[in-house]
Amino acid sequence: MTDENWKPKIIAIICNWCSYAGADLAGGARIQYPPDVRAIRVMCTGRVDPLFIMKAFQDGADGMLISGCHFGDCHYLEGNYKCAKRMFLVKNILKNIGLNDNRLRMTFVSASEGAKWGEVMVDVVKTVNELGPSPLNKR
């Protein structure tokens, strides 16, 4: 598994109003970050079913990022709280099945935090690179 050509497969599920807008802002500001993360847009992180995360890890994802609005800023009042609560559950499950729960991360990036989005990207990729390929990686 320690193939030198290995590149991490990281999925991000991000909310339309804050993190997706923040990621767009990073683009406008030409903030450069590593290209290893693939984003899926949802309206709110509240949409994130724990099963999506389990599915991704089952499929061999090396890392996963859920990113929403700051607490209190949710476009739908409290979807991000609900999601954050679920993260504790999912992280527990990951630990219990022997996966390092640092492979899953939740961040809060607002629509005005393009630079922060860049930092999150760098950090997530770094973390997953250090952890190496997921033991569930099929290839």
Partner 1 sequence: MVETKNEPRIGVFLCHCGTNIAGSINIEEVKNYAKTLDGVVIADEYQYMCSTPGQSKIIDAINENNLNGVVVAACSPRLHEPTFRMATQEGGLNQFRFEMANIRDQNSWVHMHDLEGATEKAKDQVLIAVAKARMLEDLQPKSVPVEHAALVLGAGVGGMQAALDLANAGIKTYLVEKLPTIGGRMSQLDKTFPTLDCSQCILTPKMVDVGRHPLIELRTYTEVEKVEGYIGNFTITLRHKARGVLDPDQAAARAAATGILGTGCNGCGDCDAVCPVIKPNPFEMGMAPRKAIYIYHAQVMPLQYTIDFDACVKCGLCVDACGSEKNAIDLEAVDTFEEIKVGTCILAIGFDLIPIEEKREWGYKQYDNVITGLEFERLICASGPTVGHLIRPSDGKTPMKIGFVLCAGSRDNTGGVNKAYCSRFCCMYSLKHAHQIMEKIPGAVPYLFYMDIRSFGKMYEEFYYRIQNEGAKFIRGRVANILEDPITKNLIVNTEDTLLGRPVAMEMDMVVLAAAVQPKPEAEHIRQMFGVSKSQDGWLLEAHPKLNPCGTTTAGIYLAGVCQGPKDIPDTVAQAEGAASAASIPIHMGEVQLEPYFAMCMEDLCAGCGMCLNQCPYGALDLIEKNGRTVMEVTEAKCKGCGTCGGFCPGGAIKMQHFTSPQICAQIDAFLLKGGVN
Judge contact between 76 and 39, C-beta under 8 A: no
- CA nearest to 45, candidates 93, 102, 100, 85: 85
Residue 61 is a binding residue for partner 1 (CB under 8 A): yes
Extract the runs of DSSP E, i.e. beta strands, from the chain: 10-15, 37-42, 63-68, 104-108
Q: Is 56 in the site for partner 1 (CB under 8 A)?
A: yes
Q: How far apart are CA 46 and CA 17, in angstroms?
A: 12
Among 67, 86, 103, 124, binds partner 1 (CB under 8 A): 86
Site for partner 1 in 93-132 (CB under 8 A): 110-113, 118, 121
Residues contributing to the site for partner 1 (CB under 8 A): 3, 5-7, 9, 11, 13, 16-18, 20-21, 23-24, 26-28, 30-36, 38-44, 46-52, 55-56, 59-61, 69, 72-73, 75-79, 82-83, 86, 110-113, 118, 121, 138-139
